[in-house]
Amino acid sequence: MKLAILKEPSPYEARIPITPDLVKKYTGAGYQVHIETGAGMRAGFPDKVLQSAGAIIVNDAAAALRDAELLLAVHTPPKETLMQLDEGATVIALLDPYRNGELFDTLNARKITSFALELVPRTTRAQSMDVLSSQANLAGYRAVLEAATLYPRAFPMFMTAAGTIAPARVFVMGAGVAGLQAIATARRLGAIVSATDVRMAAKEQVQSLGASFIMVEDDETKAAETTAGYAKEMSEAYKAKQAALVAEHITKQDVVICTALIPGRPAPTLVSEEMLKTMKPGSVLVDLATSWGGNCPLSEKDAVVQKHGVTIVGYANMAARVPADASALYGKNIFNFLELMIDPKGPIIDINWQDDILAACCLTHEGKTIHPQFGGAK
């Protein structure tokens, strides 16, 4: 089976869905791995390293796609790329189906079987395939490093002959995977850390990492988590109470890390402009939700800006700022996912449509949209 890997077209994307170690695994299993030249350069995997692991390096995307049965990518490939695939090929990537309606027409026109990795269910069996969690871990870590670099003071306490430097105060908003890693990283750097979340289940997790937890606790918070483990969108009344609590707390913070996302919905506003005006001069806000509108209305996607004396970091793809490790985790997630649908005797694609993970992720097959959430038959 021919497997194709192309350069990611976005200038903000340094990841690649394969590493030299994974090339060895694929070729050992009988795959022919064709990689467009330069595809791994930004992740620290030059052509010669991938080639020595067993990959076939080709000069352009057309050569990689020719006769390819399987295309792996980080993000949705451009329409012109998909149209070059043979009919019946399989594509696995973060396909952004919530905002990419035209994608379905292209996939169906080429009768492509497509799997959107952001739809991998949050179940025990699917943990090793959960790309959102693996990438969010790195995003939370990197967010704190970005903040520490831009914050004009030190994070830990220093006691010197010249005087004592107080530790930085870091406030993490949203205690999912990214938020918990941000808490752990900030604590390792010596900061005093607090966090908030609408889910009661997050309280114990936050406190176990040595951070204090603040939230408005009422009847609504008892049902604030979906069966998939994500936060639900709260009522306007609850949002108002939570905002008042945050507004008071944020005035004392040096760094704020915003991580709140609701799958398929615009990101909730957590820090208003009025709140931002009350933050200390020189403080830093990192917004990890800018790809979905941002948790602060003054954040700018893929930019660092100064507003009201606060530095706002809006990198939408924070995991890509740790590209080698992000690629390794993402690539292993895909490799584990493929094991569900590949006959090892081939390798050939043999999809078990009764498998709950595959069924949850498949968007299109044989020229039809089959995912019920996006117009397929229920």
Question: Structure tokens of 366?
Answer: 């044989």
Q: What is the separation, in whole angstroms, between the first and last Cα of the chain?
A: 32
Total domains in the fold of the chain: 2
- Say yes or no: 78 and 161 in one domain: no
- Say yes or no: 339 and 310 in one domain: no
Query: How crowded is residue 154: how many other Cβ atoms within 10 Å of its Cβ?
Result: 15
User: Residue 217, class by beta-carbon neighbours within 10 Å (0-12 exposed, 13-18 middle, 19+ buried)?
Assistant: exposed
- Say yes or no: 255 and 283 in one domain: yes
- Say yes or no: 170 and 22 in one domain: no
C-alpha torsion 140→8→46→69, nearest 10: 120
- Say yes or no: 146 and 84 in one domain: no
Phi, psi of 69, rounded to the nearest 5 degrees: -95, -20
Query: How crowded is residue 148: how many other Cβ atoms within 10 Å of its Cβ?
Result: 19
Cβ–Cβ < 8 Å for 250, 244:
no
- Say yes or no: 201 and 339 in one domain: no
- Residue 91's closest CA among 120, 113, 118? 113
215 inside domain: yes
Q: 98-153: per-residue pLDDT in tens?
A: 998 899 999 999 999 999 999 999 999 999 999 999 999 999 999 999 999 999 99
- Residue 149's closest CA among 24, 255, 13, 302? 255
- Supply the CATH number for residue 100's domain: 3.40.50.720
- Say yes or no: 257 and 352 in one domain: no
342 inside domain: yes
**How far apart are the C-alpha atoms of 285 and 326, rounded to whole Å?**
23
Three-state DSSP at 67 gives coil
126 inside domain: no
Q: Catalytic residue positions?
A: 122, 127, 130, 133, 230
Q: What pLDDT is recorded for position 228? A: 55
Low-confidence ranges of the chain (pLDDT < 50): 378
Q: 210-237: per-residue pLDDT in tens?
A: 999 998 877 666 555 555 555 666 678 8
- Say yes or no: 166 and 226 in one domain: yes
73 inside domain: yes
Range of the domain at 175: 137-321
